[in-house]
Amino acid sequence: MKLEEHNPSYELSPRLEQHRPSKLFERAKDEGRPLTIAAPMVRYSKLPFRELCRAYGTDVCYTPMILAKEFVRSSAARESDFSTTGYDRPLIVQFGASNELDFARAAELVMPYSDGVDLNCGCPQSWAIGEGIGCKLMSSPELVRDMVRSAKQRCGEYFSVSVKIRIHADLQETVRWVKIVESALPDYITVHGRRRTQRSTEPVNIDAIKLIKSISQVPVVFNGDVFSMDDARRFVQETNVDGVMAARGLMANPALFSGAKKTPWGTVERFLAYNMRYPLPYKLALHHVAEMMERMIPRKERATMIDSCKSIIELIDWLDAQFILRREGEEDYGIRKEIERRLHSTAHD
Q: What is the Cα–Cα distance from 56 to 45, expressed in whole angstroms?
A: 15
- Options 121, 123, 135, 309, the catalytic residue: 123
Three-class SS state of 324: coil
Q: Is the dihedral of CA 231, 60, 43, 262 positive or negative?
A: positive
Rounded Cα–Cα distance for residues 209 and 204 (Å)? 9
Query: How far is it, in rounded angstroms, from Cα 128 to Cα 88?
Result: 28
Q: Are 40 and 64 in contact (CB under 8 A)?
A: yes
Determine the Cα–Cα distance for residues 216 and 219; give it in Å rounded to an integer.
Answer: 7
The answer to whether 315 and 309 are in contact (CB under 8 A) is yes
The identity of residue 91, as a single letter, is L
Residue 123: active-site member: yes
Helix H segments across the chain?
A: 21-30, 47-55, 68-73, 75-81, 100-110, 126-130, 141-155, 171-182, 206-215, 229-239, 248-252, 265-277, 282-292, 299-308, 312-322
Give the contacts of 264 (CB within 8 A, at least 6 positions apart): 255, 335, 336, 337
Active site residues per annotation? 123
